[in-house]
Amino acid sequence: MRRVAPRVRFAPSPTGYLHVGGARTALFNWLYARRHGGTFVLRIEDTDVERSSADMVTGILEGLRWLGLDWNEGPEVGGPHAPYFQSERLDRYRTAASQLLTAGHAYYCYCSADRLREEREKAEARGEAWRYDRACLSLSAEKVSELEAAGAPRAIRFKVRTGSTGFDDQVKGRIEFDTAHIEDFVILRSDLYPTYHLSVVVDDIDMAITDVIRGDDHISNTPKHVLLFEAFGATTPRFAHVPLILGADKKRLSKRHGATSVTEYRRQGYLAEAMVNFLALLGWSPGDDRELMSMNELVESFSLDGISGGNAVFNTEKLDWMNGQYIARLPVDQLAKAVEPFLGEAGLWPPLVSGIDQAWLHRLLDLLRPRAKRLTDFVDLARPFLVDTVEFDPEAIEKHLSTSGLAGHIAALKGTLDTAIPFDEPHVETAVRGSAAERGIKPGVLIHAVRVAVTGRTTSPGLFEVLALLGKARTIARLDRLLLFLATRS
């Protein structure tokens, strides 16, 4: 059977940032839509007015855009089912609730919160789970008039039918349930705001959603939704509940495990492409052992069959590894664009030192990138190259600047380096090794000391490349500074 192109949705509640779990759900929906030539709808579920905020909406949109998850319908782009904010669809939910009342699928409930709480407590004291006792289903007409006359607040409850029902979850398989375990849940509160169950189902119907792909924390809600779809006489979408994301300690991923918001990962120097690749593999696999996959490859390989039933573990080392792989492969002009804001924030870019241009920055980034896992790593790695004078690490001084006769060796090296023409890697290497041989010392003595002179540190990329990149003038100036330092120490 040829199915119509799917319509899927990502439906965040803007009560928090776009977190890793939400981003992964959005990505799976997006990939599914792209794979099958479908439509990806973004719907903002902001009926909880107190906990929702416009800032959170902005943050969510920004996070999705950063990851490259553009939506076909939704905020800012509009679409045939607008508005895509639930707070702007309240009348629709009220009408839908009335429709269920009229059809006998729902009824008014006048029970006070106090009564419900008391009944629940009593049941709990008996060791029983309490479900709404349908007290308001059998109210006499007089009682109803009395309550109405007194202006008693009334909610609307869904009348759960007897029997059983179920759905074929695309990840978990068939799920059957006995409706005896489901209470007559509220669909419209006394303040006329819908509960999540009502608004989500009404919107999924109105927006012609064919497939609901969401976190499996919603799996216990789905039976209620299936009953609602049925009561509305609508086709039930297919469901796919994706497994939770756990931290390394196998507990549900939370702030305790570090960053959970997608924007935070961006700030920490992860590339969007790496983040997407990593998120895609959280609970999904292409069915072979591929790990590094571009967005196009993900789209081509994505299927709900590849989603594992078990929970996925968020492994930060793997993310770092993956990010390093993307940093290593990124075209250098794009890498520069990505790194510049981080350098800028550290006051290192635009450069304070003259003679540094884009082409030079590209050479520097190529030199440093094998050592970077995150874009933020470039700040520390690039610092010695972008400042006028470097500070010597105490450890480096101790280790490499106490060789006796060092000042003489360095002074001699300066002379040899001056003859390195052009001042490129092979000529620099010849000069350093030649100078060491002439002085009767191991090249390592010079290499280590010069590294401290030019970077302040005990480690750096290959020294000859470093010197060639710094250029003759800056190298000689740093050697002079080393000589000054040695002179003041002795």
List interacting residues with ligand GLU (CB under 6 A).
11-13, 45, 200, 214, 218
Cβ proximity of 6 and 33 under 8 Å: yes
Q: Which CB sits closer to ligand GLU, 157 or 214? A: 214
Rounded least distance, CB 89 to ligand GLU, Å: 13
Assign 19 to helix, strand or coil: strand
Q: Which CB sits closer to ligand GLU, 16 or 306? A: 16
Q: Is 308 left (phi over 0), alpha (psi -120 to 50) or beta?
A: beta
Strand segments, DSSP code E, in 201-300 are 211-215, 238-242, 245-246
Cβ proximity of 165 and 112 under 8 Å: no
Cβ atoms within 10 Å, residue 18: 26
Q: Which residues contact 66 (CB under 8 A, 6 or more apart)?
A: 262, 263, 266, 272
Rounded least distance, CB 3 to ligand GLU, Å: 21
Q: Which CB sits closer to ligand GLU, 200 or 231? A: 200
Cβ proximity of 29 and 12 under 8 Å: no
Q: Which CB sits closer to ligand GLU, 33 or 449? A: 33
Cβ proximity of 44 and 57 under 8 Å: yes
Catalytic annotation, residues: 255
Q: How is residue 84 annotated by DSSP?
A: -
Instruction: Please give the structure tokens belonging to residue 222.
Output: 């789905």
Instruction: Please give the structure tokens belonging to residue 393.
Output: 């690490």
Rounded least distance, CB 29 to ligand GLU, Å: 9
Strand segments, DSSP code E, in 275-365 are 312-313
Q: Which CB sits closer to ligand GLU, 200 or 431? A: 200
Task: Give me the residue label for tokens 């609730």.
Answer: 97
> Which amino acid is present at 28?
F
Rounded least distance, CB 196 to ligand GLU, Å: 7
Instruction: Please give the structure tokens belonging to residue 25.
Output: 């759900």
Q: Which CB sits closer to ligand GLU, 13 or 376? A: 13
Instruction: Please give the structure tokens belonging to residue 143.
Output: 């009682």
Rounded least distance, CB 11 to ligand GLU, Å: 4
Q: Which CB sits closer to ligand GLU, 218 or 474? A: 218
Instruction: Please give the structure tokens belonging to residue 464.
Output: 């000859």
Rounded least distance, CB 258 to ligand GLU, Å: 22
Q: Which residues contact 59 (CB under 8 A, 6 or more apart)?
A: 17, 18, 261, 263
Rounded least distance, CB 236 to ligand GLU, Å: 13
Cβ proximity of 21 and 243 under 8 Å: no
